[in-house]
Chain A
């Protein structure tokens, strides 16, 4: 292996690069790339902007042809847009990843135990670890599933846990749990495929851990929860349909796993058994990987106006005739107020200290916290507890007075509905800015995908790195102009 000089001048695409006051994942100092980034930095620094631009166009075309798009509804018609892909990979050293992997596994197991408990014996209330009223008042707590025994005790088959690297400490911490129907894994797999086609030379310089075993592992778990047992379980993926923003992912996963992609209208419940309508009659369904939210699953139990689900499905589920992944009612575990208690769950259920830090969280339902939050609104991030995707959020430091006053009123009117956290200064990774035609630092987060089979947690190395492509923006959501990057975990030593 050739020695890499630690100091390298910034040139070419990096000509204008400034690390700024944030943790820069590529550079330890302005002209000193971190060791695990050195080779890719050299490669990029030697490229002409036009060469880079050509590869970028090639990658974009590949996403377009495959229809890897998401739907935006802002213009009322729903147009298909590309999820911007940034060609500069995000690299996480192996030693750091191993800690993340252990921390996530610990968290997933604790969340699963919490769900088993609140929908089962409810020991945690008796032991006064969390107020019953807080749990019962969560928007996604489902009384309807109390007492249902889910196959193999698994509630959280698939979790997407959002991590951020705090620039102050340089350490990864958990920002949010997603244990209902987390999406994005298809981008992880497709980003990698496109990256390997567009930048094959970059892979030759590194040993990057593969990610494409995800569908097979998920399929194995889905088969294992079939109520009838056996290897020939009929598994389907239930999608809301082509107008759902994650439809590409639904069809992608169904195809990769070799299972049927169904809509609610393809299924029917008769005598407590779920069937699908085929050209040769009805066929029994054993396992449903559902990408339809709880409240739309069954119009007889939940929202009566839902046409996305299957009337009678909950009856079949309760009778144990069909398995659902993820389980119904998981939303209580990723409620933003419950988030503050996850370290408690880890200590209570596992008797361990949390490996990954959580972000300090103020619950406005607590009197002291509320007073503090109202005092410091202009410094904090305020979030409505039942929302996701960046909705119902106040970014104190960048909000104007009117917006702060609006939140002040809303919080006072319904404190239970809000939490607040200090602003986490997200780390940055060099990313290509097509408008400036050069590389600049952009904020990122990381969503690893965790699969739980009741005993072990399998985490695909890396996950989805979302990047805020606007300069200085901390918002990485795709609906707000965010893009993504291929995420590399390197084999062995860094």
Chain B
């Protein structure tokens, strides 16, 4: 497989996942807000911009992080390179450069999603609320993964899609947990700490609300929410689950068996998984959740870089 194609596949699924994650968070936050008092406005919306890593850009354009501003910025903005529209456009651009390597169904599905998304009128959607738009993205992403799974041979190309997809998911979940805890858990009790609704929103945004109740049979406890999102072995949005997928993808590409590694990306993935398997949530809280998650994000960054070094880039030969 050509390096350029592997790279495009990797980014194609990263962008789709980023769009879906952003849509989920937008949607759930918006609806939680409908049942909230006005004081919590800032508290709810600002973390979303922090999560996207785009605070500076956001401040340059908007005065206040309120619902319409955040919605526009995260969903439609041309100035935000991670906005949902931009992600879908970039995913399609990547698919276009490799359309001979993906199935016709995948291309037509993604192309259709692109046209659907572009038909939305930002002004109208902001009036109606984000649900309709976010739903289209969520289902679009699910459908694309379904079509991919059902029509693309599960060979190296498929593995690069999987690795890109889950490394993005691991990072997004880590950021979600980090930002929400910073905003809620560390905040004075009267605004954040004890408010179950907001923790419910976090769970719902990753589609883990029902799974939480099934597992813990208890009311919403912030520590348990974190445990679920970070280390649940089987929930498809936990960091641990995502990193397990990354690991199997990388091993399938290099042909390495368990217990060893073929490159730095595999070594770091193994190391991250080791921690996710054997740490306990109260240990993590004792050490500091923020620094733990930051560490994890840094390692994910290094894994991405080493995947590029191992598979995508060639040193210039004179």
Contacts and interface: CB of A to CB of B under 8 A. Distances in A.
Interface residues on A, range: 20 to 34
Contacts of B104: 66, 255
A254 interface: yes
A278 B3 contact: yes
Contact of B99 (A65, A67, A260, A279): A67
B112 A279 contact: no
Contact of A66 (B108, B253, B314): B108
A277 B101 CA distance: 16
Contacts of B1: 278-280
Given A268-B317, A277-B314, A262 B99 contact: no
A225 B29 CA distance: 62
Given A279-B156, A279-B253, A251 B3 contact: no
B99 A255 contact: yes
Contact of A251 (B93, B100, B311): B100
Interface string B92-113: 0100111111001001100110
**Do most interface residues of chain B lie in helix, strand or loop, or is the interface mixed?**
helix
A464 interface: no
Contacts of B115: 64-65
A251 B99 contact: yes
Contact of A262 (B2, B156, B314): B2
Interface string B106-127: 0110011001000000000000
A268 B107 CA distance: 29
B4 A263 contact: yes
B201 interface: no
Interface in A238-283: 241-242, 247, 251-252, 254-255, 260-263, 265-266, 268, 270, 276-280
A67 B107 contact: yes
A266 B2 contact: yes
B16 interface: no
Nearest to B6: A279
Contact of B4 (A65, A265, A270): A265
A254 B156 CA distance: 19
A280 B254 CA distance: 9
Contacts of B99: 67, 251, 255
Interface in B242-269: 253
Contact of A270 (B98, B111, B317): B317
Contacts of A277: 2-4, 314
Contacts of B107: 66-67
B112 A65 contact: yes
Contacts of B96: 67, 242, 247
Contact of A268 (B253, B312, B314): B314
Given A67-B96, A261-B100, A278 B2 contact: yes
A276 B2 contact: yes
B110 to A, nearest CB: 10
A278 B107 CA distance: 23
Contact of B311 (A254, A266, A279): A279
Contacts of A252: 100
Interface centre among A67, A252, A270, A279 (most CB of B within 10 A): A279
Contacts of A247: 96
B97 A241 contact: yes
A266 B313 CA distance: 10
Contacts of A279: 1-3, 6, 156, 253, 311-312
Interface string B280-318: 000000000000000000000000000000011010010
Contact of B108 (A65, A242, A262, A276): A65
Nearest to A265: B4
A217 to B, nearest CB: 19
B2 to A, nearest CB: 5
A260 B112 contact: no
A45 B2 CA distance: 52
A279 B3 CA distance: 5
Contacts of B311: 279
A59 B317 CA distance: 48
Nearest to B112: A65
Interface in B128-184: 156
B11 to A, nearest CB: 14
A65 B156 CA distance: 27
A58 B168 CA distance: 37
A404 to B, nearest CB: 44
Nearest to A270: B317
Given A241-B97, A251-B99, A65 B111 contact: yes
B9 to A, nearest CB: 10
A263 B311 CA distance: 17
Nearest to A258: B100
Interface in B1-48: 1-4, 6
B298 to A, nearest CB: 25
A280 B2 CA distance: 9
Nearest to A236: B2
Nearest to B96: A242
A247 B96 CA distance: 9
Contacts of B3: 266, 277-279
B111 A67 contact: yes
A65 B104 CA distance: 10
Contact of A255 (B2, B97, B100, B314): B100
Contacts of B100: 251-252, 254-255, 261
A260 B2 contact: yes
A64 B114 CA distance: 11
Contacts of B112: 65
Closest 8 CB pairs of A and B: A255-B100, A254-B100, A251-B100, A279-B311, A261-B100, A251-B99, A277-B3, A279-B6
17 contacts: A65-B111, A66-B104, A67-B96, A67-B111, A247-B96, A251-B99, A254-B100, A255-B104, A261-B100, A263-B4, A265-B4, A268-B314, A268-B317, A270-B317, A277-B314, A279-B253, A279-B312
Given A67-B107, A242-B93, 11 more contacts: A66-B107, A66-B108, A66-B111, A67-B99, A254-B100, A268-B317, A270-B317, A277-B2, A277-B3, A277-B314, A279-B6
